[in-house]
Structure 1
Amino acid sequence: MKEKEKSILKTLVLSKSRQISSRQMHIFPILISSVLSSLFLLFLSHSSSCSSTSSSSSSSSSSSSPSSLTLPLSAAARTDPCSGRYLYVYDLPDKFNDGIVRECRAIFPWIDMCPYVANMGLGPHLTETGSVLTETGWHITNQWVLEVIFHNRIRQYECLTANSSKADAFFVPFYVGLDTGRHMWGHNTSLQERDALLVELFQFLKLRPEWLAKGGRDHFILSGRSTYDLRREDNGASQWGGKLLMLPEVKNMTVLLIESNPWGNGNEFAIPYPTNFHPSNESQVVAWQDKVRSTDRPWLFSFAGARRPGHEGSIRDQLFDQCLKSSHCKLLDCALGENDCDTPVTTMSLFQSSNFCLQPPGDTPTRRSAFDSMLAGCIPVFFHPDSAYTQYKWYLPDNYSEYSVYIPQDEVREGRVSIEEVLLRYSEKEIGYMKEKVITMIPGLIYKDPGYKLESVRDAFDVAIDGVLRRVKTIIGNQNSI
């Protein structure tokens, strides 16, 4: 495994120099102070086990998994369970969020998004689950609707406060990804029109006492799109996307995205793509885990995707060719009309029948399919560090070999590695261990139905809020110590 670790380190260095050579990741110390009748210090290390102080069900996950980490309880929190966890949500005019949803037909030029933003962003209920899915908890969820889901989840958050002076962090519910989508494909709009809501939002925020108190350092915002869609430079050659991440004010904020820039200034954090599973009670989660744990998996590995002809650097053609030549691989060609890869039953059937699922980069390094496959208990095979390892650090174990396989994409592109041979080296015992690790991670990778409370299940939203609160405490603590 040491050779693999050397390879991933080499790839990380090359990726860093190619993408953003002048920027480095920042690692913040985590320091939390509490005062009641006496003073005491608590510190949280990178391998923190403070989840034992929480009543969450993350105890079912390995203690090494980042998704099991929770905020430590101070003495104050024992008298006030929301101490250190209060959130203030800005009550913005609905043109910044719900108004965008009402104009859902304008979000994409070729897709009617109205069915997908329904049901609080979960999309239509999936009723025909067959033998592939469990009977309840399933929807047809679009991968770009996380802003709607997250906003509806935060509306049910147990520690909201209308008193901004009491808040530990401030959420800005602007559906920036959906707004940006309205101007990205062939829309004849000027840059001024494209940025109108964004400019208006920050003109508003910068006049608010909540923003002025800390310069936005305790504020966070979420986008359901990739970082690459939100860093337009007006003086650059490309006019693609929005400019949220280029605003100087945003560099003080915490930004949550489905894909971050791991080599940026340290304020972007990747959270999982939404899958199609949104349980409304604990038993639905357990039933699904039991199902994928016991399913028969006749295929060693599989791939669901399409070739990318003319896409520089893509290894899709090589994956197609290797899979077609292997008797151990099952291929789902999403370019063929008869293969409806947007139907959960189709893709989940493939992933459930496979031990390993290939997850190459798409238009960007990450893809939703990685989360769909892990939801099915399939061990992901990554070919680029930025597809997972540098991204979802609040969610995935630091030791990537516990739950995934890494094969450098350069070796695949140059024909120096057989994916089949690599995967055949894993014993049944090793596969079983890795599969079980993936299955225990499922609760922290999904988003619960916002209409219900699941006290014993901590989902991707809960992990994200904990991460934001930890980061804000660190930033504000460091600022106060200067």
Structure 2
Amino acid sequence: MEKKLIINGGHCHNQFWFTVLLSFVFCFLLFCFDYSVLYSSNSGVSFYSEKTQKANQLAAIDEPSEIPDSQNFPFPENNVSLTIVNNVTDPCSGKYIYVHRLPRRFNVDVLEDCRNLVKWFNMCPSLMNSGFGPKVETPQGVLSEKNWFETNQFMLELIFHQRIKQYECLTNDSSMASAVYIPFYAGLDVGRYLWGYNVSVRDSSAFGIVHWLRKQREWNRMFGRDHFFVAGRIAWDFRRRIDNESDWGSRLMNLPEFMNITVLSIESSSWSNEFAVPYPTYFHPSSDIDVIRWQKRVRARKRRHLFCFAGAPRPTMKDSIRGEIINQCLSANQTCRFLDCKAEGNKCNTPVEVIKVFRDCKFCLQPPGDSYTRRSTFDSIISGCIPVFFHPYSAYAQYIWYFPKNYTKYSVYIPEIDIKTGNVSIDRALSRYSEHRIKAMRKEVVKLIPKVIYANPKSRFERYEDAIDIAVKRVLERVNKVGEITREGKDPSVEFAAGNQWKSKLSGIVGDQPLEPLF
């Protein structure tokens, strides 16, 4: 009996200490929880569950629609405060993008006017397949069996917007975003009014989008320096300086607000907030293997012609060298192949015909046309044809995110003054390149193919980065740098300073010396 009481007493004693220990653990956990909440609110570091994180990453952007004005939301006292996400637990840290839900007039309604997007053409078919246009159904043995479309060169705004909807680090919480995308179809909009309309009509959407943006809380955070948008026309179409009716384009990019925005366009001007991205080509592969197979095909192609030119003369442009280039090509007999874009039944807008010519040429001539750059440059690259440039602003000062700084690796430069004065024979100049050198240059050109194409948005590359992947990455680097400068209390406007930036862009390629021909 005594032994039993001792045992029961020991049991009660152990139970008492177990209860004390359990209470201590509970209090400790409660204290830690309270401290973590306090720490999170003071430091700006947020912790998200895996489910919440995934939801933010995959947040879908619906059709653009009206959203409440920013005046309905409270503004923080510090306009540049950002929610910093723990990059150990969140793979999207520093990569989040918030997409503005614009009023329909700035994108959806523009597409509904597709018959009038370009004065001379019905552009409605070009809207098919996420902006890629109709699929090429008869590749005729020239193209691969799939992934080729009749893509219009002005469709980049729609192509980019459709692709960004699939971006893996979208967020509906703008405070988490490193960058803010404006899905404004500025090029498609102004393209309707470039001929026969007064400046008020051409500027209507420009002033409208600025008025709308300034009312958004996202704008007031950094006054647009974390915003970016894509223009599917050359930048000069948006840089009208004065209001004479005869002057070209709209004033969009000369408005003070847009000088704070990072602008991506198919051809940039000399302003430091502009960056050129490739023209859309006809090739939109769905997988890495599609790219690899096409690269192998164009790399191995036996090319019958030394050089070729696809284009038309510009008789009304006194400084154009196209007439001289066409004459040299025609006089070169079998050495040069000319695809006349002014001939009846113009074949220059037909993917099969363009690639058929370029795949059979070692060099493809790329003189300026109505502006410095050409879509043909990118058609030649996807064909494995080495581009020949006559003006440094046609590529070297433009596509700095995409092309090697050492331009001699993938292209040839012949100064246009030498063509105008007749000092250079293109045939003789290109004939001096050995087969070994040509093969090495073509290898570099073929390596560029993934970088200058726009992949099918319904798929995903695993090995390569396409033109949009590269653009998004570089935009994020740029706006994150601006954010760092701002948080350090420095003036971020230096990143958006006006002025001629082409010289600095070229200096990183060719130094301070003028470009020289390579022969």
Structure 2-normalised TM-score?
A: 0.76
2:313 is aligned with 1:302: no
Question: Which structure's CA Rg is the greater one?
Answer: 2
2:347 is aligned with 1:340: yes
Q: Which residue of 1 aligns with 2:291?
A: 285
Q: 2:386 aligns with which of 360, 366, 379?
A: 379
CA distance in 1, matches of 2:284, 2:86: 33
Q: Structure 2 matches for 1:242-281, cutoff 5 A? A: 242-261=250-269, 263-264=270-271, 266-281=272-287
Q: Which residue of 2 aligns with 1:427?
A: 434
Q: Structure 2 matches for 1:310-325, cutoff 5 A? A: 310-325=316-331
Name the aligned partner's letter for residue 283 of structure 2. F
2:91 is aligned with 1:81: yes
CA distance in 2, matches of 1:169, 1:279: 27
Name the aligned partner's letter for residue 439 of structure 2. G
CA distance in 2, matches of 1:214, 1:339: 48
Q: Which residue of 2 aligns with 1:234?
A: 242
Q: 1:213 aligns with which of 188, 199, 221?
A: 221
Q: Which residue of 2 aligns with 1:175?
A: 185
Q: Which residue of 1 aligns with 2:10?
A: none
Query: Aligned residue pairs: how many?
Result: 406
CA distance in 2, matches of 1:331, 1:77: 55
Name the aligned partner's letter for residue 315 of structure 1. I
Whether the 8 Å CA contact 1:394–1:463 is kept in 2: the answer is: yes
2:233 is aligned with 1:225: yes
Deviation of the 1:312 alpha carbon: 1.4
Whether the 8 Å CA contact 1:216–1:253 is kept in 2: the answer is: yes
Q: 1:161 aligns with which of 157, 161, 171?
A: 171
Whether the 8 Å CA contact 2:207–2:252 is kept in 1: the answer is: no
Deviation of the 1:417 alpha carbon: 0.6
* Structure 1 residues 149 and 339: alpha-carbon distance in aligned structure 2, compared to 1, 3 A threshold: same
**Secondary structure in 1 matching 2:233:** strand
Name the aligned partner's letter for residue 101 of structure 1. L
* Structure 1 residues 190 and 318: alpha-carbon distance in aligned structure 2, compared to 1, 3 A threshold: closer
* Structure 1 residues 201 and 237: alpha-carbon distance in aligned structure 2, compared to 1, 3 A threshold: closer
With 242-251 and 226-235 compared, the bigger mean Cα shift is at 226-235
CA distance in 2, matches of 1:276, 1:422: 30
CA distance in 1, matches of 2:405, 2:88: 31
Q: Which residue of 2 aligns with 1:390?
A: 397
CA distance in 1, matches of 2:98, 2:115: 31
Deviation string, structure 1 residues 193-224 (Cα, Å, up to 9, x no partner): 33222222111111111111111100001100
Deviation string, structure 1 residues 371-429 (Cα, Å, up to 9, x no partner): 00001000000000000000000000000000000000000110001111111111111
2:416 is aligned with 1:409: yes
Name the aligned partner's letter for residue 209 of structure 1. R
Deviation of the 1:228 alpha carbon: 1.1
CA distance in 1, matches of 2:447, 2:247: 42
Q: 1:102 aligns with which of 101, 112, 136?
A: 112
CA distance in 1, matches of 2:245, 2:422: 35
Whether the 8 Å CA contact 1:384–1:408 is kept in 2: the answer is: yes
Whether the 8 Å CA contact 1:332–1:339 is kept in 2: the answer is: no
Q: Which residue of 1 aligns with 2:456?
A: 449
CA distance in 2, matches of 1:376, 1:279: 14
* Structure 1 residues 352 and 233: alpha-carbon distance in aligned structure 2, compared to 1, 3 A threshold: same
Q: Which residue of 2 aligns with 1:117?
A: 127
Q: Which residue of 2 aligns with 1:479?
A: 486
Alpha carbon RMSD of aligned pairs, Å? 1.6
**Secondary structure in 2 matching 1:195:** helix
CA distance in 1, matches of 2:276, 2:368: 16
Q: 2:209 aligns with which of 201, 211, 219?
A: 201
* Structure 1 residues 270 and 155: alpha-carbon distance in aligned structure 2, compared to 1, 3 A threshold: same
Q: Which residue of 1 aligns with 2:364?
A: 357
Q: What runs of 5+ residues in structure 1 fail to find an aligned partner?
A: 1-74
Deviation of the 1:310 alpha carbon: 2.7
What is the percentage of aligned positions where both structures have the same residue?
A: 48
Name the aligned partner's letter for residue 233 of structure 1. R
CA distance in 1, matches of 2:142, 2:98: 41
Deviation string, structure 1 residues 308-358 (Cα, Å, up to 9, x no partner): 113111111111111111131111111111441100110101100000000
The structure carrying a bigger helix percent of its residues is 2
CA distance in 1, matches of 2:88, 2:379: 38
Q: 1:184 aligns with which of 194, 203, 221?
A: 194
**Secondary structure in 1 matching 2:91:** coil
Deviation of the 1:236 alpha carbon: 4.7
CA distance in 1, matches of 2:419, 2:190: 35
The one of the two structures with greater contact order (alpha-carbon pairs below 8 A, sep at least 6) is 1
**Secondary structure in 1 matching 2:282:** coil
Name the aligned partner's letter for residue 347 of structure 1. V
Deviation of the 1:191 alpha carbon: 2.6
Whether the 8 Å CA contact 2:310–2:341 is kept in 1: the answer is: yes
Structure 1-normalised TM-score?
A: 0.82
Deviation of the 1:455 alpha carbon: 2.8
Name the aligned partner's letter for residue 261 of structure 2. M
Q: What runs of 5+ residues in structure 2 fail to find an aligned partner?
A: 1-84, 491-519
Q: Which residue of 1 aligns with 2:29?
A: none
